[in-house]
Structure 1
């Protein structure tokens, strides 16, 4: 399973792409608490003191609206990445406990921590598509969110590079040697020393040989190490990696069904899992710092400096690219059309329904100007919806509000089916032919596929509304990423 990053998307210049771009316009969904009011006040000072780009034809009133929008957006980004960091630290602690004491209870605790950590992070993906906007700055630690994201969230990954896989597995990497079982492996023409598994090694090996499938870092590497392969196809069930894969006693250490007389392979699994968790925390620590108020030479300060130039366009572009190009197309439609569980976003854990919904929620956060933290506080205060209303485009704001309600309703169904009824996305995307092999009737399977299709079409309709809203405020030809065409 390999997670693709935004740099490899296909773009086609249609009205749909422009609509996506319009989607980007929707910016924020958070009501401001008294505590957040203080944060926003700091952000206001920050915006006023930042060196801004040429404001072009923006009136003083439009500049004021832009100020509020950009501040809210930046505060939401900071809060969401802070939540992602704190939940990743909790995941790291749970991982360390499990590796040190491999029991069923500790494995379940680590899986629960993973599930919790994914939810705030999935809402940050709306901030991702910034590659074409940020300015060059050698003093900035991170060049762009999009460039940084591949080490944190790349998918799908070729699990054979990391650890054992089933005999029926087919991927780009087909050697019996992998990071866990070998001190040295060869990928293409590259011979890599893997004797010492560290965060640095995993970072160096990510996408080794130029293949996006060779993912060795981030959430999904951790997911694979906790759940293992999901060999159930489109039938019920997630990965079932046994606890004994981490037992470091000779004769009790396993690799699935195989018992290893040498326990070093289980020790290496623990080293890999700990290294991946440490690298994730390190990466999120760096990104959280990029959005702190009144920071210098950061992604936040860069946005503040050019807010009147292309701040609104960036926000709209990002919303559209996630909504249509990434979520509706790459993450949903590809798997839906092909019935491929390898293209399911979280195929090891079967938590894809939550990732889908939180991606959609992240876009809605920016529209409404409101992000709800893990602790229950509301951050933001001013979104694209407010901007549209304040700039005299209430009709466009109302249309988008209705469109977002349809998106929310569609994804609520997917989440409810996944969480309460145990019908996961891999079962929803199955073709009628695939499902019939598991005694699922055509009528039932078409109903299940309809849940996914409703999510896709709701995002496409939302894109149309965003396109119209973008045009209403004078933004044309955003050329947001429209993903793969089917």
Structure 2
């Protein structure tokens, strides 16, 4: 893979002219003198070539160094923000479980929403499988292998807690982790007597089903909001505070009043265990990106910087843009009108996750991550690398593509935050929306907002592939996801 510009030889004509002038001045000398002059000219020319090549290689090396250091610094800052906001979420959760009130529930939900903002921007770093080097001394093998325990979705919520009678999922037993001290999944019987972070980690994807998610942000989201039974209509999950009241006769499971409050105690144990596991996982990942660390994902990437560092970054950009965000997270739900495939289906915060995923890609392009505290981290992105290697046209094309993406997602965020029109309402088919009193004209407009986001990401991916070719990566092979 050639990622450097051809060595510059602009100084050679001047050097060669000087050498030729010297030869002409010595033309009256003997043959031995002519040979001496010719050898001197060759030596001077070769020296100039070597200097030019060395200078060019050093410049290319400096560009790669700056890009990788900036990338690693942004990763560290984003994971650090994710960890710190998760700790604030944990504090809010603990307060709510100890004192279940509407105010404390609202505070916990607000903390969840805040915690998702930086984390959703880290997903650009996720697609590293196949790039990282095996290292038994490293605590984490890859981000992609780690991410499932933190952010897996969609989840089969019936495995965790009560659901509506109309719920349809792979897991259809009345026994779940909250209401039973043991459950059976397929041929596996699992003791759930004591709910701990370790138990939840052990049970995730139990029975080999990817839907059997018991950990991470979305399990916490479900425990705070509960199941969203509104379909493509207005409204998110509305789990009552009484689900956490540990008084006999006041403890509920939705509309069901429990004479035994132990089920509410277990619900609190689950929420606290899931939040503790999230903090543990983010602590481990933040440590992987510490500056000057050894046997970490950061040190591994810096060691690979000249081999596949640039390819990894551009592959990650394309894979999140097309395969994950445009395809799996948006297009699948859009085509099917399925709210179960909506990324934040319990809280209806999907519009923010979408926008922050896209922002994470743009952060790497611009070389700039804005921390929760407002500090800018990075300093050198793919844009700068393209310009510095003489690929300004590709950089300008990508900048224009990102502007379209940003504009498309701004509409979705504004509609969700300001007008209360959430993604589950936007993805509804015309037929589904009509059942909620939405006209065909209005629904086509709402679906158009989602369609524009998909199209902008597809165009962005083409721009990323074009930029990759410009720097010598002919087959980027970014993940394309499930294409319809």
**Aligned match of 1:323:** 321
Q: CA contact under 8 A between 2:183 and 2:192: conserved in structure 1?
A: yes
2:142 to 119, 132, 144: 144
- Kindly indicate whether residue 97 of structure 2 is the aligned counterpart of residue 96 of structure 1: no
2:482, 2:408 → 1: CA distance?
A: 22
* Partner SS, residue 189 of structure 2: strand
**Aligned match of 2:155:** 157
- Kindly indicate whether residue 272 of structure 2 is the aligned counterpart of residue 274 of structure 1: yes
Whose Rg is larger?
2
* Partner SS, residue 59 of structure 1: helix
1:113, 1:434 → 2: CA distance?
A: 32
Q: Which has the higher contact order (CA 8 A, sep 6+)?
A: 1
**Aligned match of 1:65:** 63
2:290, 2:464 → 1: CA distance?
A: 29
**Aligned match of 2:129:** 131
* Partner SS, residue 318 of structure 2: helix
1:339 to 337, 340, 346: 337
**Aligned match of 2:191:** 193
* Partner SS, residue 191 of structure 1: strand
**Aligned match of 1:446:** 444
**Aligned match of 1:112:** 110
**Aligned match of 1:49:** none
**Aligned match of 1:392:** 390
How far does the alpha carbon of each residue in 1:53-75 deviate from its partner, in whole angstroms, 9 at most, with x for none? xxxxx922211100000000000
How far does the alpha carbon of each residue in 1:139-179 deviate from its partner, in whole angstroms, 9 at most, with x for none? 00000000000000000000000000000000000000000
**Aligned match of 1:466:** 464
Q: CA RMSD for the aligned pairs?
A: 1.1
Shift of 1:478: 1.5
After TM superposition, list the pairs within 5 Å mapping 1:66-465 onto structure 2. Answer: 66-465=64-463
**Aligned match of 2:10:** none
2:453, 2:60 → 1: CA distance?
A: 34
* Partner SS, residue 369 of structure 2: strand
Structure 1: runs of 5+ lacking an equivalent: 1-21, 23-57
**Aligned match of 1:5:** none
